[in-house]
Amino acid sequence: MDEGRTRGFKTKVFQAFAKVAKALANARRLELLDLLTQCERTVEELAWETGMSVANTSQHLQAMRNAGLVEVRREGVYGYYRLADEGVYRAVQAIRDLAEGRVPELERAVASYRSDRDADTVSADELVELLRSSNVIVLDVRPGDEYRAGHIAGARSLPLPRLEQSLHEVPGGSEIVAYSRGRYCVFADEAVTILRAHGYAARRLRDGLPDWRAAGLPVATGGEG
């Protein structure tokens, strides 16, 4: 065995792994990837969502593009960024799951927002059963463009900013399950608070649309959002 050749091969392999890990090892980049799991977006849209400058957002996207994590589609003067494939989301999902229970700062952050946040949640499996056997209304409280790009099949779009003014669109007497972008998106928490304040029986889906899709559960596109 040529030890030098073998060592060179292993070094190149792990350098390639490290390139991806380095591209992921940034809180802002993980937030950008989280947004791109919902739908493709321009640099300007991502900058607005994250509160970063367009220049900083563009630099982060370029680093992730160089690592093969995102792709860009050109349309006129705009570039629309998207995840390279579903494997990128699975990597982000794995980082999230690994951090839970291992990083105390994560638990403290959740507790500082709302200590009982995991109470009265619905798992994906439980929602599947509810959809089969119960009179349940599923509300997608994300922005309309995200709903149109992909949503739980049968869900109704009612973006959080107009929820309170549009409660007349939500029939009474049914259980409501609200969902948003993901496990740590607070849109669904706020929606449940509003719904309960108006007498609705409401809970939130523990995870969001990306986890639902990754589990192979039914997703639809289009519609009014």
* Structural domain boundaries in the chain: 3-94, 113-220
Res 152: pLDDT: 98
Nearest by Cα to 80 from 96, 98, 65, 92:
65
Element (H, E) at 78: strand 78-83
pLDDT value at 120 more than 90: no
Phi-psi region of 42 (alpha: psi -120 to 50; beta: other; left: phi over 0): beta
Task: Please tell us whether the domain made up of 113-220 is placed in CATH 3.40.250.10.
Answer: yes
For the stretch 129-175, pLDDT in tens is 999 988 899 999 999 999 999 999 999 999 999 999 999 999 888 89
pTM strictly above 0.75: yes
Residue 18, token pair as written in the block:
């490290």
**Amino acid identity of 14?**
F
Helix axes 27-36, 3-24, angle to 10 degrees: 70
For the stretch 73-96, pLDDT in tens is 999 989 999 999 999 999 999 999
**Burial class of residue 64 in the structure, from the number of CB atoms within 10 Å of its CB (0-12 exposed, 13-18 middle, 19+ buried):** buried
- Options 1.10.1370.30, 1.10.150.120, 1.10.10.10, 3.40.50.300; CATH of 3-94: 1.10.10.10
Query: What percent of the chain stands above pLDDT 90?
Result: 86
